[in-house]
Chains A and B, each alone.
Chain A
Amino acid sequence: MSFLRELYLAFWRVAIAIELQYRASSAIWLLGVVVEPVIYLAVWSAVAEAQGGEIGGFGPHEFAAYYLVLTLVNQVTQGWHMWEFQFRVQQGQFSFLLLRPVHPIHGDLAENLAHKAVMQVVLLPVLGALALVFAPRFDADPWSLALFLPALALAFALRFVVEWTLALACFWTTRIMAVNQTYFAVLFFLSGRVAPVELLPEYVRFAADALPFRWMIAFPVELALGRLSPAQIATGFAAQSVWLAVAALGLTALWPRALRRFSAVGT
């Protein structure tokens, strides 16, 4: 256990140093995180206006609260390994990672958390400024706010494991772009990013409930805004746990097979 702790500390220090080195690219990465929610916030506010002030209990101020919290949740849960793996395979970086005496997922996890910790320094002020512009209205009760953190942690774990597992596809195909794009399209529609799930057409909402994507982003957001009943909250935590278990099983089953497929390319 103390070995793992030392390991994470070491990875963490390296990742923080890298983060501080490339400040400009991190800031631009942040722009990508903020632009999309602001676009859909503006679009849905315009829809609410066209429909006489509100739709389905959302007015411009509720949409503002929804999309600001979503920006944070999306940033905290997101990963970039689906893109990263392509380079790792193409450039032979996996050879080095596999020589290390630990599973490469540990290094990725530590790097991911370090990046997000550093980015909060920029993201939170930006969210604060956006809150001044869009005037969000929050009326959540304290206990749904208290449940927000565990829901966020589970959402992060679920999204991380699912994306890391899907990234393994690059051991089988070199055209990983098609896999990535499909995943991101589905995620966009079913995770509450295109619209709050309750505003989606019925058949889309059904897919959102049945698949893991809603529980990666939309669920913690709805929880923080106090839009869920106790029964819905319990369902959400159950769905997160079950999907996380499924994804973890998938990862442990696929990893040895992926390793057997691996043949080094590059220098």
Chain B
Amino acid sequence: MQSLRIFWVFAKLGFQNEAAYRANFWVQIFESVLNIGWALAAVGIVFARTDTLAGWRAGELVALLGVYFVVYGAIQIVIAPSLTKFMEDVRTGALDFTLVKPADSQLLVSLSEVRVWKLVDLVLGLAILASGLGRIAAEIGALEALGFLVALGAGALTVYGFWMLLATCAFWFVRLENVLMIFWNMYQAGRWPLDVYPRWLRWTLTGLVPVALAVTVPAEALAGRLSAGNLALACAVALVISCVSRWFWKLGLRRYSGASA
């Protein structure tokens, strides 16, 4: 309950900050539409040459893109800006101010910066998801919908845990911005179903950088091709990575000694 209140406060602050730069809203819309149009056009070019891609039909692929942009939006709205700020704060010593606040420190650093305009990505992602679903709607039952929500929740937790693990490394290594670039580079691979990639790459995308768990698995649930075993596995991974990142955070905190004068 308290965490929701904290998030709400940060979201309001974020909105007030960004409302001062209203033109950025239009720039954001332009960028998001271009980004999503780019991805859809690539799907169009591929499906001009074939009707199925590794067993996926066009409608299912559009739904997959929708999930991709929903998760992308969620990361860009709060996870990426907050944790980037956190890494900067470790470097400058400003983390001291966060640590003295009477709330859980991991919660505070995970929510401290909210980029409201990035909601555009999330909303457009939902629209694409809906239009993709429109084409395959007849086949989605209540079970698939439930599986999708569970898989999406597990995927979100996994991605957050992964970012948290990377960001916590800032307690040991001061310059990490480039490591996050690795994530974004690999994340592009999530625009296509995991089945198109060779096995070694599939394992990298599932095990090392959890792109598959965040994007492909929820989309598989919608397309009705997710087995109960894989869903359970995705939930187990989410649980484990959440616990490990929490433990790692505490370990890192103990190392932090402040950098201010």
Residues of A within 8 A of B (CB): 24-25, 28, 31-32, 35-36, 38-39, 42-47, 49-51, 55, 133-134, 175, 177-178, 181-182, 185, 188-189, 194-195, 199-201, 204
Contacts and interface: CB of A to CB of B under 8 A. Distances in A.
B52 A50 contact: yes
A24 B45 CA distance: 35
Contact of B27 (A31, A49, A178): A178
A133 B200 contact: yes
A43 B196 contact: yes
Interface in B1-60: 23, 27, 30-31, 34-35, 37-38, 41-42, 45-46, 48-54
Contacts of B196: 42-43, 45-46
Interface string B162-184: 00000000000000001101100
12 contacts: A28-B178, A39-B197, A44-B46, A46-B195, A47-B53, A50-B52, A51-B49, A133-B200, A178-B30, A200-B45, A201-B45, A201-B48
Contacts of A181: 30-31, 34-35
B201 A50 contact: no
B4 to A, nearest CB: 33
A47 B192 CA distance: 12
Lowest 3 A-B CB distances belong to which pairs? Answer: A46-B196, A46-B54, A47-B50
Given A177-B31, A182-B34, 13 more contacts: A28-B185, A31-B182, A39-B188, A39-B192, A42-B201, A43-B46, A49-B54, A51-B50, A133-B200, A178-B27, A181-B35, A189-B45, A201-B48
B49 A204 contact: no
A175 B30 CA distance: 12
Contact of A36 (B35, B49, B188): B188
Nearest to A27: B178
Interface residues of B, number: 35
A175 B24 CA distance: 9
Nearest to B54: A46
A163 to B, nearest CB: 18
Contacts of B52: 50
Given A42-B192, A42-B198, A50-B53, A28 B48 contact: no
A35 B189 CA distance: 8
Contacts of B42: 189, 194
Contacts of A182: 34
B146 interface: no
B186 interface: yes
Contacts of B178: 24-25, 28
Contact of B46 (A134, A175, A189, A195): A195
Given A32-B181, A133-B200, A188-B38, A43 B49 contact: no
A42 B197 contact: yes
Contacts of B198: 42, 133-134
A131 B74 CA distance: 37
Nearest to B177: A25
Contacts of B191: 39
Contacts of A38: 201
Nearest to B52: A50
B45 A194 contact: yes
Nearest to B193: A46
A43 B200 contact: no
Contacts of A55: 49-50
Given A24-B178, A47-B46, A201-B48, A35 B38 contact: no
B31 A47 contact: no
Nearest to B187: A35
B42 to A, nearest CB: 5
A31 B185 contact: yes
B183 to A, nearest CB: 11
Contacts of B54: 46, 49-50
Contacts of B46: 43-44, 47, 195
